[in-house]
């Protein structure tokens, strides 16, 4: 529970109602305290509260780490216990600090710090309901983590986990029936058993939002972006991206139709998502082997070279660390190497393998938990996760309430800025992973395509995952239409559909980890847009990008070893959450709003090529609505 998501509770409002009405603290003489004296008293109280808050937060994070890396009943009980303890301390801190009329403070930083610490999130709930909500989310997350499937047809092995077994099967198998089998088994087991917990989570999420002064959980999440127009900004960006997405979709559907035949893939309908190389159809890079525009050209994949050179997960992380050092950024502390989990444990324990970076709110105590495999994709994931770690290290000097991203998307964007450089042939050659690789126009189109089906097609997926939950939290999607409205949104914005008919007896959204674990997902959408704004600015600082210069483009930029780019990144990251996010963005980019200009510039060569190629192939652009979920409601595309 990030500290900048903590909001006011009802009991606090009642206990200090008089103070909220405008009464200022007075001294024992009943004379008004001067503004200077009031702010001095406030600072003393703030420092005292920050210490309590941070100490309890550290306990909570340690317990969450213990549970996430070893799922046992004992660790779950400890996780619940520390989360409850933290909630109570957060309430107490909010109550003490609300005794000050902090809105009248002249010092803006002091006012901002008070504002952050007088918020409460789920801690607004009474203790019994807080535990009930916590338990509902823990049940969904535990169900997700413990799923084991049997092998296709022979059931010889019934211990297949999502990571790595199912993920690798979905990526590599070209047997449509096998893919459908694993898709159905996963969605049935990850979703349907959690219906009761999911409904409890939705109900209590809404109750907590109202106690915090919001109408619903959607408004709570969007408040993190500190801009009442932000939801509309997001919708505007998704419409800006639509033309290129439709071109990629048309081309990939055509190739899938060639591969699997018209009986499986419609000429004009949505794409059956189990054929896209990923359990959720969120990225399509795993089917690049037969969809790449120029397959006779060598694909950019250094996995074999990594294996040949004896790469290990440790070496991958060491190289990521060295990249940041080359930018004059912070070297990983020894505690990172001592305490992180970078390979899947072999002792039989259940754990959440989903790659994650952790800040323990103490000096230099940062860690990663990742079941790393040696391949090119995970090489880039390593750099992404280390981006989170670098952010933690840059703002660790800030008070606890500022130890977070400028907005939720910033954290996700930082690591990907590095990945945009690391994934270039230029960089892979520098580090000795790319050999005998000559570029020409066709090779470059292949590169843009690979990036497009990795990054660009992810954006509509990321949008729909939270658009769906916004609508659920707002009551615009009712419990008896939870499943079909989810597939309606996936069809409308992503042009994909399930491989078999789904009904309201199913519940498919929790089959994605972030839904089961109550993790807001818009941050990923925001990050995938603003990372290109960050990339453009960093490339300009590194002398790797010049507008209009065909030799110095956004898609051939590597900021490795540029202290100028690294120093500016550090300046932005060191702010943490101490300033509104437009202020932080302006430090690096000179811009104050999210926009799609940079990402569209990056992918322009691919867009131009796809328009011509789809015309040549006669590939239909766009798609008809899916009919793969049956529910009694009128289908009407959302606006």
pLDDT digits (tens, 9 = 90+) for 300-320: 889 999 999 999 999 999 999
pLDDT digits (tens, 9 = 90+) for 450-491: 889 998 999 999 999 999 999 999 999 999 999 999 999 999
Q: What is the pLDDT of residue 11?
A: 28
Which of the four pLDDT bands, split at 50, 70 and 90, describes residue 34?
low
Which of the four pLDDT bands, split at 50, 70 and 90, describes residue 408?
confident
Provide the Cα torsion 80, 85, 89, 92; round to 10°. 100
**Rounded-to-integer distance, Cα 444 and Cα 425, Å:** 10
What's the rounded mean pLDDT across residues 610-624? Answer: 98
Angle between helices 195-211 and 458-473 (to 10 degrees): 70
Q: What is the mean pLDDT of the chain?
A: 90
Q: What residue has token string 């470059």?
A: 444
**Rounded-to-integer distance, Cα 87 and Cα 85, Å:** 5
Q: Has 354 been annotated as catalytic?
A: no
Q: Pick the catalytic residue: 96, 116, 385, 412?
A: 385
Which DSSP string do the residues of 303-341 spell out, in sequence order? HHHHHHTT--HHHHHHHHHHHHHHTT-PPPPHHHHHH-B
Given its phi and psi angles, is residue 386 left (phi above 0), alpha (psi -120 to 50 degrees) or beta? alpha
**Rounded-to-integer distance, Cα 184 and Cα 162, Å:** 13
pLDDT digits (tens, 9 = 90+) for 517-562: 999 999 999 999 999 999 999 999 999 999 888 889 888 899 999 9
Residue of 559, 560, 561, 545 lying closest to 602 (CA atoms)? 545
In the structure encoding, which two tokens stand for residue 606, read together? 């691919």
**Rounded-to-integer distance, Cα 624 and Cα 270, Å:** 7
- Is the pLDDT assigned to residue 615 strictly greater than 90? yes
In the structure encoding, which two tokens stand for residue 541, read together? 């600082």
What's the rounded mean pLDDT across residues 130-159? Answer: 93
Q: What is the DSSP letter of 274?
A: G
Q: What is the pLDDT of residue 152?
A: 95
Q: What is the pLDDT of residue 301?
A: 86
Q: What is the pLDDT of residue 16?
A: 29
pLDDT digits (tens, 9 = 90+) for 333-344: 999 999 999 999
> Which residues have C-beta within 8 Å of that of residue 471, sequence separation ≥ 6?
218, 477, 485, 489
What's the rounded mean pLDDT across residues 579-599? Answer: 93
Q: What is the pLDDT of residue 284?
A: 97
**Contact present, 190 and 513 (Cβ < 8 Å):** no
Q: Has 411 been annotated as catalytic?
A: no
Which of the four pLDDT bands, split at 50, 70 and 90, describes residue 29?
very low
> Which residues have C-beta within 8 Å of that of residue 223, sequence separation ≥ 6?
214
In the structure encoding, which two tokens stand for residue 194, read together? 């959690």
Q: What is the pLDDT of residue 8?
A: 33
Pairing mode, strands 496-497 and 271-272: parallel
- Buried residues in 329-343 as b, exposed as e (16+ CB within 10 A): bbebeeebeebbbbe
> Which residues have C-beta within 8 Å of that of residue 268, sequence separation ≥ 6?
620, 622, 623, 624
Share of the chain above pLDDT 90, in %: 76
Q: What is the pLDDT of residue 13?
A: 30
Given its phi and psi angles, is residue 361 left (phi above 0), alpha (psi -120 to 50 degrees) or beta? left
Q: What is the pLDDT of residue 412?
A: 84
Which of the four pLDDT bands, split at 50, 70 and 90, describes residue 87?
confident
Lowest mean pLDDT among 91-105, 208-222, 505-519: 91-105
pLDDT digits (tens, 9 = 90+) for 48-60: 999 999 999 999 9
Q: What is the pLDDT of residue 436?
A: 79
> Which residues have C-beta within 8 Å of that of residue 256, sequence separation ≥ 6?
264, 265, 271, 275, 287, 291
> What 3-state DSSP class applies to 140?
helix
> What 3-state DSSP class applies to 359?
strand
Q: What is the pLDDT of residue 229?
A: 87
Lowest mean pLDDT among 117-131, 170-184, 453-467: 117-131
**Rounded-to-integer distance, Cα 310 and Cα 292, Å:** 28
Angle between helices 458-473 and 482-489 (to 10 degrees): 150
**Rounded-to-integer distance, Cα 448 and Cα 452, Å:** 6
Lowest mean pLDDT among 28-37, 279-288, 332-341, 506-515: 28-37
CA distances from 386 to 327, 354, 462 (A): 14, 15, 22
Which of the four pLDDT bands, split at 50, 70 and 90, describes residue 163?
confident
Q: Pick the catalytic residue: 62, 388, 411, 514?
A: 514
End-to-end C-alpha distance for the chain, whole angstroms: 32
Share of the chain above pLDDT 70, in %: 93
**Rounded-to-integer distance, Cα 128 and Cα 111, Å:** 32
């Amino acid at each position: 529970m990030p500290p900048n998501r903590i909001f006011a509770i009802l009991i606090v409002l009642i206990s200090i109602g008089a103070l909220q009405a405008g009464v200022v603290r007075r001294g024992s003489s009943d004379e008004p305290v001067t503004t200077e004296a009031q702010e001095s008293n406030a600072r003393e109280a703030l420092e005292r509260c920050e210490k309590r808050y941070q100490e309890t937060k550290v306990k909570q994070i340690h317990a969450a780490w213990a549970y996430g890396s070893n799922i046992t009943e004992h660790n779950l009980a400890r996780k619940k216990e520390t989360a409850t303890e933290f909630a109570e301390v957060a309430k107490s801190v909010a109550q003490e600090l609300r005794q000050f009329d902090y809105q009248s403070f002249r010092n803006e930083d002091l006012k901002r710090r008070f504002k952050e610490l007088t918020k409460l999130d789920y801690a607004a709930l009474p203790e019994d309901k807080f535990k009930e909500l916590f338990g509902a989310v823990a049940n969904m997350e535990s169900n997700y983590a413990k799923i084991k499937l049997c092998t296709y047809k022979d059931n010889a092995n019934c211990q297949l986990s999502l990571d790595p077994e199912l993920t690798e099967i979905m990526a590599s198998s070209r047997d449509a029936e096998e893919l459908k089998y694993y898709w159905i088994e996963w969605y049935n087991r990850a979703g349907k058993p959690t219906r009761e917990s999911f409904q409890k989570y939705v109900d209590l999420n809404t109750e907590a939002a109202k106690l915090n002064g919001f109408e619903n959980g959607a408004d709570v999440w969007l408040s993190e972006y500190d801009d009442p127009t932000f939801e509309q900004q997001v919708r505007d960006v998704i419409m800006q991206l639509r033309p290129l997405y439709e071109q990629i979709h048309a081309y990939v559907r055509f190739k899938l139709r060639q591969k699997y035949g018209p009986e499986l893939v419609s000429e004009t309908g949505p794409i059956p998502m189990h054929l896209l190389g990923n359990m959720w159809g969120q990225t399509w890079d795993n089917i690049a082997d037969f969809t790449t525009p120029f397959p006779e050209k060598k694909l950019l994949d250094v996995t074999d070279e990594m294996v040949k050179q004896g790469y290990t997960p440790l070496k991958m992380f060491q190289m990521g660390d060295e990249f940041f050092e080359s930018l004059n950024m912070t070297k990983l502390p020894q505690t990172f190497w001592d305490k992180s989990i970078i390979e899947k444990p072999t002792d039989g324990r259940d754990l959440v393998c989903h790659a994650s970076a952790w800040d323990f709110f103490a000096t230099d105590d940062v860690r990663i938990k990742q079941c790393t495999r040696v391949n090119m994709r995970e090489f880039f994931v390593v750099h992404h996760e280390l981006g989170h770690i670098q952010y933690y290290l840059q703002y660790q000097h800030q008070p606890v309430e500022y130890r977070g991203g400028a907005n939720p998307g910033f954290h996700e964007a930082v690591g990907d800025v590095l990945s945009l450089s690391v994934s270039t042939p230029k960089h892979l050659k520098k580090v000795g992973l790319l050999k005998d690789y000559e570029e020409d126009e066709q090779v470059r189109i292949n590169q843009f395509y690979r990036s497009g089906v990795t990054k660009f097609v992810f954006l509509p997926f990321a949008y729909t995952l939270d658009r769906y939950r916004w609508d659920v939290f707002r009551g615009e999607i009712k419990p008896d239409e939870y499943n079909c409205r989810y597939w309606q949104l996936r069809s409308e914005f992503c042009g994909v559909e399930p491989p078999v008919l789904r009904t309201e007896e199913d519940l498919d959204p929790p089959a994605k980890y972030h839904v089961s674990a109550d993790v807001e997902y818009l941050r990923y959408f925001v990050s995938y847009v603003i990372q290109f704004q960050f990339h453009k600015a960093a490339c300009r600082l590194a002398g790797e990008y010049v507008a209009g210069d065909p030799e110095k483009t956004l898609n051939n930029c590597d900021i490795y070893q540029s202290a100028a780019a690294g120093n500016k990144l550090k300046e932005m990251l060191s702010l943490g959450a101490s300033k509104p996010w437009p202020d932080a963005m302006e430090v690096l980019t000179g811009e104050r709003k999210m926009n799609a200009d940079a990402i569209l510039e990056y992918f322009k060569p691919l867009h131009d090529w796809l328009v011509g190629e789809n015309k040549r192939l006669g590939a239909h652009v766009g798609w008809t609505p899916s009919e793969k979920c049956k529910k009694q409601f009128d289908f009407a595309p959302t606006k």
